[in-house]
Amino acid sequence: MLHKFVDIITSLKLTIVCLAAGMALIFAGTLAQVHLGIHEAQQRYFQSMFVWWPPEGRGFRIPIFPGGHLIGAVLLINLIAAHLKRFRWSWRKLGIHLTHAGLIIMLAGGLFTDLFAVESHMQLANGDAKNYSEDMRQTELAVIDTSGDDLDQVTAIPDTVLRPNRVIDHWSLPFRIAVRNFYQNSRLRMLSQAGEGARPIANQGSGAMIAVEPVTRATASDERDVPSAAIEILPKDGGSLGTWLVSDSLGAPQTFACGGRTWMIALRPARYYKPYSVTLQKFTHEKYAGTEIPKDFSSKVTLIDPERSVNRDVLIYMNHPLRYRGETFYQAGFQKDDSATILQVVHNPSFIAPYVACVIVAAGLLVQFGFHLVGFSRQRRRAIA
Amino acid sequence: MRIGCAGWVMRISKYFILVLSAALLVSCEKNSEIKVYRVSKAPLEQSAPQQQDAMPTNTSAPRMPAGLPPAAETAVTTPANWEAQPLSQMRQASFLVKGDNGAVADVSFVSLGSAAGNVLENVNRWLGQLGQPPITEQKLGEMAQRLQTSLGEVTIVDLAGLPDNADPARDGRIIAAMMTTSNATLFFKMRGNADLAETQKGDFIRWVAAVCDAQTQAGPAQIAEAPPQTASAPTIKWTAPEGWTEVPPSSMRYASFSAPAQDGGKIDISIVTFPGDGGSDADNINRWRGQMGLAPVDANAVTSQVAPLKTGDTMFSTTDIAGNKTRTIAAWTRRDGRVWFFKATGPNAAIEKEKSNFVKFIESVRF
Amino acid sequence: MKRLLPWIILGVAAACIATSWLPSKVAKEDFDFSKVGEIPVLVGGRMKPLDTVARNSLLIIHGKQELRLEDSRRLSAMQWLADALFNASVADQYPVFVVQNADVLGLFGWQQSDRKYFSFAEFTPFLKQIDEQAAQSDKLEAVQRSAYQSAILNLRNGLSLYQRLKNSIQPEGAENFTAELQGFASSVPGAAKAARQRAMGENFDKVKLDDIAQMIKRYERLSDMAYVLAVPPIEPNGEWHSVGNSLLRSVAIGEIDPAVIEYAIVGDAYRANDRPLFNQNVEVMTDWFSKEQPNTMKRASFEFLFNRVQPFSQSMALYVLAFLLACASWLGSSSILRRSAFYVLLLALAIHTFGLVSRMYLQERPPVTNLYSSAIFIGWGAVIVALILERIFRDGIGAACAGAIGFVTLIIAHHLAGSGDTLEMLQAVLDTNIWLATHVVAITTGYSAMFLAGMLAIIYIVRGVFTTSLKKQTADSLARMTYGVVCFATLFSFVGTVLGGIWADQSWGRFWGWDPKENGAVLIVLWCAIILHARWGGFIRQRGLMVMALFGNIVTSFSWFGVNMLGVGLHSYGFMQKAFPWLVGFMLSQLALMCVAAMPLERWRSFRTVNAPARGQTPQVSPAPSPG
């Protein structure tokens, strides 16, 4: 039994099966991107253990195909196990060993990136200074205690926790938050402009005059979901402060008092605060003469870090990012009228893995095929002679 | 042999799968945890390092630091050709000056938390923006001007330079003023076309003085008008001694004279006036001592350095400061809500010779 | 005699080619269209000769680079452009606009007939309608538009381009533009003075300003509509301006740019049919460029030569010839025909290389920058490797592959050229020569190798199943070639894919984004890996290798073209709807051939007659190298 398992896990057949399964998965996932959008297809096909049917919803789901993580994991195990079992050093096999070692590094690095990398955006208008970046996909319910003189206390609740009928009870808050409604993507309209029969889902704050309509998830790469939720504030010592509407499209936070302190709530893109700030001095958008074809975008920013006494100007432009304290700032885009720049902020501790892996695998392939070529030409020469 | 190898492989695969699943679980967790952190209320500093120990914040409505009432800026008159601009998040005053041929100059006043970097750092940053190399502390000392206001001493620098690819109509000169109080650092900056900045320099400096003076008044404008120095300062008369040539005054000086000294040296005589009391005697004497490269003296010791001088019109305080090579003699008086400084600086021997002339000059002043 | 035959064939081919390289003779009494075609202008951000503008514009509007009129006169692109620029009333009558969609024709109340070309004059009453309809279509994504919507959008774009051309150098319908300019020039100083006085608040002469105001409005329209920036900068690195813009600036400067005046004289001469005057002033302009901006003139002249020579069409013809010669060499007189094919291929490759290198020179970029240039490069790479194989094995197989692949890729390229300037300027994110030179070239080389392996497989299967010519030695050679080429493809595809990831990491911090093009590339790498592992594990032998190499053709064509048609992701450039049926057809053909190859080996004509293997025994092949 054990032998059989070991045989399978180290077999070449398994490798081929995994590679073929990977091809099928990638092909299906690529076609799926047309109607799902890149991000959703990525989640479903490549960043999961299985591809499920039906894809969404509660209730019974069956896995119909291994997902990217599973195939990758099995390939990795197969590769390592096969090598451990059949490892025999020889110069002739150097190329293969190098290639496979590099592949292991690449797969492992890819896994690490999937798990630990964080990507976010920083949008700056000319003259703006910010010390946080925002997640493009995740929103958070920020509950802020503003009663301090010089410090605000922020309790950030990720939107994955906001599900209907959930009650959030956290030590930092003197009230519980009961989620009455949650829509992943929604459209807000003033009651007066909404149709007949439209009812607000909140009874306090600006939400009392707004009608919320759920809409289908956004799939295009430049669209984002606008989540909304109706939350009821229940002070821990009894009573209710009413139901409030929080939404990504509301703009301004709403305020209420509880327990002698003033609180603000807002549903906003998840923020990642940094101990340094970035100020946009100038954004330039060059086009080719007489056309609208973009030639170059660049942002001149000032990086201020009091902890490390850094106060300098940096130019960020295409293919030339700013790398600072483990994060990298890329020129990602801009607002339509050149009024603001959008920087992509990436935190990826395992970014070096693909570089290393590429060099090793390329070397391995060259060595291996070089051997073949040499052998082949020797054969030819012998044949001709 | 084979079993051992296989068992080894088994164990490794098992651990690997465990590690993998744990990592995946952890990653799921990371998305759903509630975080609590603290964030500072003070607005972000745009051009200088910060001093908070908690994480800085950027609240949606910028709040100005306490101690500088916004009313101050509305109380200050600005030159007619300065067009007010909408305020950006950091600016408390913003103007645009337009000149010929599309020349523009951008004027701004920004107030930040105290300890917003020292003067040299900021000057070098401005030099960098003009594409010029940084300068040393010593050079800074030589080129900087000092302006006394009721808020304190303002450092003024005049920087020129045109970086590559810059538009000369909009760039080429930065005239900036900076001062630090106990709870704020004020930055005044005019950046634009070099010639235009030159013509506006006087107005700019007067405006800087006006704003600083206005800052000392809390609450609604008691200083309805902080008048530019020369425009509405009362006219005084004097008789200049022989050998003194009147030199065109700079924008800070009410009047300026030059007298020759032997060996080609020069004596520089100036009349300067401000509203208010212009700082204490100790402040001024130590300031002049500093200009001459001398160490400051104790405030108590200062009184021994000041001698009164009565003239037909008013009572002056005078002092005589001798340094290694240069010597400064000064007389000042306060009247009608203003302070007037009369100062002569030059080589030791030359001042010695001119001292009597200086005294006669002071005695000739009529308010 | 027989030994000289290859050289004779080569000589004849070279002679046919050479004629187009010589400049055509211009009759003294004729307009010197070649000279005027060399004049440099700036369009789309790139400096190019008027001839390129003419060819590309006509290609966009008309689908061809030549115009055939009803009286069977033929106009070259430059002739057509000259009429459009200077003689709009005549050009309006030329039937250049293509409309075939019945719904579009119905919009104008026309019935569908044999006619597919229409003139601008015929559309004049419907311009507003066309604009509105096209605006509707514009709101949708390309993949969502119906045939009618695509067609009306194309028509609108063509009409719009034509109108912009008409108003690039002169206002459309200007009669005596030189005189108009002279009038403008004389009023300018007075107007400038009046403007200054007004700015300073002094009294000024309103009449002078009003006179100018009319003309300024006219030139503003000219400036807005201009497609061609014809006025060169005075300083070497200055900016090009359109004629309208230059005239507006001359109000401030005080005088009119000499280039504008020259164009005016040339235009007037053209309209007046004054050939000597036209030729004279065209020469004045080219002389000015040669003196003041010699580099610009050199490049423009070179590009003019490049346009005229059409190297890719020439090499296409040579590739066909070589393919036929190589195939014929399998039937008889093998050595002579094979060598002829080889020499012809060398000539074709030389011209192909000339074209490739010229493009690099003109664009100042590495060889592959867009889909069109990728097709050119794939052909070039595959031909080189195939020629190397031919040199080693000397059995005509390499030559046949080279000819076939060269021809097919150049045909594909030809059809990709329809959207305009193939030497277009690159978008900001592509503005980096290092990555273009490494990642893109490596991936494209990988494509070449995959297609070559696929072609070898086609030859193996076709010759094996349908003819008796697949002897053991030939089969072995083919197997070895295919294996070697697959190894080569693996290396380049892998390195190219990873380099692309590194580029993405440097550009926006994400090494791998599951973009369709990235996925396509990794599919190729995975497929190559499967082929190699299957071979090393002994799961496939010769026939299996060939079948898998054939499937490699499908994977590569999906990666090269298929992903662009999805309309998703970062690499979604190129409007590809027309190519879709061809792509599907190609994939199906490969699948069919794979099924044919799956027949039992005894049924293959070559194996049936030569060996008569017992059931279940595959023909002996050379032992596979040790796995791994």
Summarised one tens digit per residue, pLDDT across range C8-67 is 888 888 888 887 777 666 666 678 888 899 999 998 888 899 999 999 999 888 888 888
Task: Please enumerate in sequence order all residues whose Cβ is within 8 A of that of A132, keeping only pairs 6 or more positions apart, or say none.
Answer: A122, A271, A272, A273, A274, B58
Name the nearest CA neighbour of B285 among B275, B274, B299.
Answer: B299
Residues in chain C with CB shorter than 8 Å from the CB of A46 are 514
Out of B78-82, B142-146, C315-319, C368-372, which region has the weakest mean confidence (pLDDT)? B78-82
CA distances (Å), origin C429, targets C130, C426, C568, C570 = 35, 8, 17, 11
Selected residue of C494, C514, C515, C533 to mutate for chain A interface (largest A Cβ count, 10 A): C514
**Residue-level pLDDT at C352:** 95
Radius of gyration of chain B (CA): 29
Name the band, by pLDDT with cuts 50, 70 and 90, for residue C376. Answer: very high
- Identify the burial level of C411 via C-beta atoms within 10 angstroms of its C-beta, where 0-12 means exposed, 13-18 middle and 19 or more buried: middle
Does residue A72 belong to the interface with chain C, where contact is any CB pair within 8 Å?
Answer: no
Is B299 in CB contact (< 8 Å) with chain A? no
| Alpha helices (H) in C231-257, listed in sequence order | 243-253
- State the number of CA atoms in the 13 A half-sphere of A385 facing the CB: 6
Q: What is the pLDDT of residue A340?
A: 87
- Banded pLDDT at C349 (limits 50, 70, 90): very high
Whether the per-residue pLDDT at A364 is higher than 70: the answer is: yes
Report chain A residues whose CB lies below 8 A from the CB of C44.
Answer: 288, 290-291, 293
Who among A110, A290, A369 is closest to C45 (CB)? A290
Strands of chain B, DSSP E: 35-40, 82-84, 91-98, 104-112, 145-149, 152-160, 172-180, 185-193, 245-247, 255-260, 266-275, 306-310, 315-322, 326-335, 338-347
> CA geometry: angle at B60 spanning B56 and B66, to 5°?
65
Q: Are C566 and A33 a contacting pair at CB < 8 A? A: yes
Q: Quick check: B39 and A279 CB within 8 A? A: no
- Interchain CB contact of A347 with B (< 8 Å): no
Of A351-365, B142-156, C528-542, C581-595, minimum mean pLDDT range: B142-156
pTM score: 0.69
Stretch 127-186 of chain B: residues touching chain A, C-beta under 8 Å: 128-129
As separate numbers, helices (DSSP H) first and strands (DSSP E) second, chain B gives 9, 15
The CATH number fitting domain B55-215, selected from 1.50.10, 1.10.3470, 3.90.460, 3.40.1000: 3.40.1000
Where b means 16+ CB within 10 Å and e means fewer, A86-113 reads eeeeeeebebbbbbbbbbbbbbbbbbbb
Q: Note whether B24 contacts A69, CB cutoff 8 Å.
A: yes
* Residue C553, pLDDT above cutoff 90: yes
Amino acid B47: pLDDT:
57
In this complex, is the C-beta atom of A73 within 8 Å of any C-beta atom belonging to chain B?
A: yes
Nearest CA in chain A to B36: A155
Provide the number of CB pairs (under 8 Å) joining chain A to chain B: 148
Res. B349: pLDDT tops 70: yes
Chain C positions touching A373 (Cβ under 8 A) are 484
Touching B: A residues 274-303, CB under 8 Å: 275, 277, 279, 302
* CB–CB contact C530 A38 (8 Å): no
Q: What percent of chain C has pLDDT over 70?
A: 90
Helices (H), B33-65: none
Chains touching chain A through at least 3 C-beta pairs below 8 angstroms are B, C
Q: Enter the ipTM.
A: 0.83
Alpha-carbon torsion angle C113, C116, C119, C124, nearest 10? 60
Quick check: B6 and A305 CB within 8 A? no
A316 at the C interface (CB within 8 A)? no
Q: Is B45 on the interface with A (CB under 8 A)?
A: yes
Chain A residues with CB under 8 Å of B2 CB are: 3
All CATH 3.40.1000.10 domain ranges in chain B, comma separated:
230-364
A129 at the C interface (CB within 8 A)? no
Identify the residue with better confidence: C165 or A209: C165
pLDDT, tens digit, 9 for 90 and up, residues A246-285: 888 887 888 888 888 888 999 999 999 998 999 998 888 8
Contact status of A350 with chain B (Cβ, < 8 Å): no
Put simply, the chain A residues between 28 and 67 with a CB less than 8 A from any chain C CB are 29-31, 33-34, 38, 41-42, 46
Half-sphere exposure of A28 (CA within 13 A, CB side): 15
From A50's Cα to the closest Cα of chain B, the distance in A is 13
Residue-averaged pLDDT of chain C: 85
Residue B39 has its nearest CB partner, among A126, A273, A304, at A273
Query: C495, A362: Cβ pair inside 8 Å?
Result: yes
Range in B69-73, C289-293, C313-317, C379-383 the model is least confident about: B69-73
What is the residue type of A109? G
Taking CB atoms and an 8 Å cutoff, what residues of chain C touch A294?
427-428
User: Considering the domain B230-364 in this protein, what is its CATH number?
Assistant: 3.40.1000.10
Work out the minimum CA distance from C207 to partner chain A, whole angstroms.
34
pLDDT recorded at residue B218? 37
Distance CA C597, CA B62 (A): 74
Using a CB-CB distance cutoff of 8 angstroms, which residues of chain A are in contact with residue B174?
none
Are C4 and C53 in contact by the 8 Å Cβ rule? The answer is no
Please provide the size of chain A in residues: 385
**A380 interface with C at CB cutoff 8 Å:** yes
